């Protein structure tokens, strides 16, 4: 699971109001190279919940000195974009789980795939 995906996932346990962002508890993380495209990154940034991304990067020890709020004119800062590219697409959680911040419910991640299915009674 890449952090770009994590940025879009929320908890949908019944009754939960603040199910975002899901807390990442990783037991296995991999870094895979992926071709950098500056345009992709700079267009993706406005679509993200930036603080959730920074939080997630922190949980995985990949903060890389990224700022907690966006700097203006980031589109032209290639070094910055490359750092964002890395945490969005190259860092992957292979094993672990995602935890709902309100209910504590854990969703397992196995072989890079999170299982978000709820049980009958949830």
Partner 1 sequence: MMQELDQAVTIGATVPTGFEHTAAEEVQEKLEATARVSKNRGRIYFDITTDKLLKVHQLKSLDNLFVVVKEYDDYQFKTTKEEVQMDWEELAAKLPWTNALAVWKLNNSIKKKKGCRKRTNPTKSDQCDLEALEVKRNQRDVSSQPENDSEEEKHSEIQNQESGVTPLKFRVTCNRAGDKHCFTSNDAARDFGGAVQEFFQWKADMTKFDVEVLLNIHNNEVVVGIALTVESLHRRNITHFGPTTLRSTLAYGMLRLCKPQVSDVIVDPMCGTGAIPLEGVMEWQNSFFLAGDNNGTAVSRSVNNIKHILKRTHDGGSSSGLPLDIVQWDLCNLPMRSSSVDIIITDMPFGKRMGSKKKNWELYPLCLREMARVCKPGTGKAVLLTQDKKCFLKALSQMEGLWRKLHTVWVNVGGLHAGVFVLKRTAVVFGPTSVDVMEPHTATGSQK
Do the beta carbons of residue 49 and residue 55 sit within 8 Å? Answer: no
Among 56, 60, 89, 97, binds partner 1 (CB under 8 A): 89
Distance of CA 16 to the CA centre of its chain: 20
CB of 78 to partner 1, least distance (A): 16
Residue 100 neighbours by CB distance under 10 Å: 19
Q: Using CB under 8 A, pick the residue from 15, 17, 32, 65 that binds partner 1.
A: 32
Tell me the closest approach of the beta carbon of residue 91 to partner 1, in angstroms.
10
Binding of residue 10 to partner 1 (CB under 8 A): yes
Residue 48: CB atoms within 10 A of its CB come to: 17
Is 34 a binder of partner 1 (CB under 8 A)? Answer: yes
Residue 107 CB, shortest distance to partner 1, in Å, is 8
Give the integer Cα–Cα distance in Å for 64 and 36: 17
Distant-in-sequence, close-in-space partners of 42: CB < 8 Å, separation ≥ 6: 74, 75, 81
Which residues make up the interface to partner 1 (CB under 8 A)? 1-2, 4-5, 8-12, 20, 30, 32-35, 37, 39-41, 43-44, 47, 49, 89-90, 92, 107, 111-118, 120-122
């Amino acid at each position: 699971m890449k952090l770009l995906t994590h940025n879009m996932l929320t908890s949908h346990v019944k009754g939960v109001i603040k199910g975002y962002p899901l807390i990442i508890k990783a037991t296995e993380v991999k870094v895979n190279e992926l071709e950098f495209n500056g345009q992709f990154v700079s267009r993706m940034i406005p679509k993200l919940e930036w603080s959730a991304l920074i939080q997630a990067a922190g949980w995985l020890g990949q903060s890389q000195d990224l700022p907690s709020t966006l700097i203006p004119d980031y589109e032209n800062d290639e070094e910055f974009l490359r750092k964002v590219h890395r945490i969005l697409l190259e860092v992957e959680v292979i094993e672990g789980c995602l935890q709902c911040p309100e209910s504590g419910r854990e969703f397992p991640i196995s072989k890079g795939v999170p299982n978000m299915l709820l049980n009958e009674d949830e």
